[in-house]
Amino acid sequence: MSYDIEKSNAEWRAELSPEEYRVLRGAEDEAAFTGEYTDAKEKGVYSCRACGADLFTSEEKFDSRCGWPAFYDPKDLDSVEVQQSESPYPVVRCARCGSYLGELFEGEGFATPTDKRYCINSLSLRLKPGDSE
């Protein structure tokens, strides 16, 4: 797969903390209920911690009580990439750099416009406070 931002593992390791690298580049999830954005209510735009691409806004964030930040839709349809994986749930990646964000769940009955839950690791995100547009 080709992305707008491509770097070697050594370059990513130099830019990211070990924990960020483990999640973003190693595709491992952080422990539930430990992320800084799990219960965040601040307004703003959530961007990719690896490359800075805008991914989700606080407008699409909802409380799913799953232990990770949850969004019912990305900021723009082309900001994230959903890939089938070996797990039963599709993997969500940043469309700009390919970094691992989390997984997508559908049809769980949440009262959201899409009935989708983008379950995203806090370590994959950085909140830019302010207007969510």
Express each pLDDT in 25-37 by its tens digit: 999 999 999 999 9
The answer to whether residue 119 is catalytic is: yes
Nearest 5°: phi and psi at 72? Answer: -90, -10
| pLDDT at position 133 | 60
Task: Please give the Cα distance from 124 to 37 (Å, whole number).
Answer: 10
Express each pLDDT in 108-133 by its tens digit: 999 999 999 999 999 999 999 987 66
State the catalytic residue, choosing from 48, 94, 97, 119. Answer: 119
Domains annotated for the chain, with CATH where assigned, are: 9-129 (2.170.150.20)
Report the pLDDT averaged over residues 87-113. 95
| pLDDT at position 88 | 86
DSSP string for residues in 86-123: SSSS-EEEETTT--EEEEEEE-S--SSSS-EEEEE-GG
